[in-house]
Amino acid sequence: MTGHVRLDAADAHGIARLTIAHPGKLNALDTTMWRELRAHAEALQASAARAVIVQGEGGTFVAGGDIEEFPAFRFQADTLAHFHEEIVAPALWALLALEVPLVAQIDGACIGGGLEIACCCDLRIAGQGSRFGVPIAKLGFPMAPAEIEIVARVVGETVLRELLLEARVLGADEALRRGLLTRVVPDAEVAAEALASARQIARLSPQAMRLNKRALRQFAHREQASHRAEREPHYAYAPSDEHREGLAAFNEKRPAVFR
């Protein structure tokens, strides 16, 4: 089945829901879903929503990208750069630009692109059984520069180095101790806790929320982010043997062998 990202209009409390769904793939994001995510984020900017809950469907948040589609574009530097610079990064930037508070309701896997989306949210409320990481080195490729900038602002450089260089996946309690999360609750209470948080936000001044988010965004961007021209050489790894081996091994359901 194909994946999709659904935006449900604000309810009587002013709470909208952004739901990421890809049945059978733990909500892994394909190219179309990234585009839908960006479009919905841009639509929310002009909406009357007072808070948005960002969630995955079916008991998991997002388990990363849809790796089955990767071989179609990842092995040439220009198409690889286009994917990260023109599809993924703009979707994440659209979430970051939102002046409506975002509450991530995190169940199960929050991996790769899922962690990137969670890091664009203002609050991250997770279940005890959730897990967090970016183990893409196992697939033979690194994290894109613009995405590193986004995630590092939340998790910190020390933790991000650990996640990237050791391909570690953290449990919820450790992620909370490391500062990745706002709160951890029993798995059965995640939805209720996220809703309670969103309702608390919705009761407060929308103007204060907008101004707080603007000030926080200015603080986060006080150092100039890198420009695309500086990031472009990163994608030269596209045709490499390691990149091809990592993705082939995943799709063939076997361990990767990096020689």
Please indicate, yes or no, if residue 39 is contained in any of the structural domains.
yes
Please indicate, yes or no, if residue 132 is contained in any of the structural domains.
yes
What is the predicted pLDDT for the residue at 24? 95
What is the predicted pLDDT for the residue at 224? 47
What is the predicted pLDDT for the residue at 226? 67
Please indicate, yes or no, if residue 142 is contained in any of the structural domains.
yes
How many domains in the chain? Answer: 1
Please indicate, yes or no, if residue 204 is contained in any of the structural domains.
no
What is the predicted pLDDT for the residue at 222? 54
What is the predicted pLDDT for the residue at 125? 98
Please indicate, yes or no, if residue 148 is contained in any of the structural domains.
yes
Q: What is the CATH number of the domain that holds 176?
A: 3.90.226.10
Per-residue pLDDT tens, the chain, 259 aa: give them. Answer: 789 999 999 999 999 999 999 999 999 999 999 999 999 999 999 999 999 999 999 999 999 999 999 999 999 999 999 999 999 999 999 999 999 999 999 999 999 999 999 999 999 999 999 999 999 999 999 999 999 999 999 999 999 999 999 999 999 999 999 999 999 999 999 999 999 999 999 999 998 998 889 888 877 665 445 678 878 888 888 999 889 998 999 889 999 988 7
92 vs 167: CA distance, rounded Å: 22
Please indicate, yes or no, if residue 28 is contained in any of the structural domains.
yes
Please indicate, yes or no, if residue 257 is contained in any of the structural domains.
no
Domain carrying residue 112: 4-188
The tokens of 145 are what? 């520069």
181 vs 132: CA distance, rounded Å: 10
CA dihedral 258, 113, 111, 28 (to 10 degrees): -90
Please indicate, yes or no, if residue 196 is contained in any of the structural domains.
no
Nearest of 28, 26, 43, 84 to residue 18 by alpha carbon: 43
133-148 as b/e: b if 16+ CB within 10 A:
bbebbebbbbbbbbbb
What is the predicted pLDDT for the residue at 144? 96
CB contact set of 218 (below 8 Å; sequence gap of 6+): none
